[in-house]
Amino acid sequence: QVQLVESGGGSVQAGGSLRLSCAASEYPYNANCMGWFRQAPGKERDWVAFIYRSGGDTFYADSVKDRFTISQDNGKNTVYLQMNSLTPEDTAMYYCTLSWCGAGFRTYAVRYWGQGTQVTVSS
C-alpha cells in the first residue's frame, strides 16, 4: 500500500512563508505526477500545484501562481511546496497526492492521498 507522509504545515502571519514536504513510500506504475490540493473550511478541495516525475514540468492554480513553487527529489520520492507571500486566503488543509496526469495537465486522476497538513495564515 502506497503511503504519503506530509510535513511542514503550521501557523504563520500574512506575508510569511512555509515549506511543505511529502514523501511517498514508492512511486507506483499507475502514477506519473505528484501534486498538492487544499481544502478550506466549508469549501471544495481544489488542486494547487502538480509536477511531472519525468521532465519536471509544473502547473499551478492561478491563485498561487508566482507565490508557490513545487519541486521534487526523485531519488527520495519526495515533493515540496514552497509557499511565499502567504495570505489568510491560503489557510486550508493541504493534501499531497500521487496522480496520473495527462499531457499538458489537461486531465488528472488522483491515485493516492496523504492525510493532510494544516496551514493557517493569520492577518
- Residue 106: C-alpha distances to residues 15, 18, 42, 109 (Å): 32, 28, 27, 11
Grade residue 115 by pLDDT with cuts at 50, 70 and 90: very high
Grade residue 18 by pLDDT with cuts at 50, 70 and 90: very high
| pLDDT (average), residues 7-19 | 97
Pairing of strands 117-122, 10-13: parallel
Residue 23 is predicted with a pLDDT of 97
Residue 25 Rama label (left phi>0; alpha psi -120 to 50; beta): alpha
Question: Can you read off the three cell numbers belonging to residue 68?
Answer: 508557490
| Per-residue pLDDT tens digits for 38-93 | 999 999 999 999 999 999 999 999 999 999 999 999 999 999 999 999 999 999 99
Instruction: Tell me the average pLDDT of the chain.
Output: 96
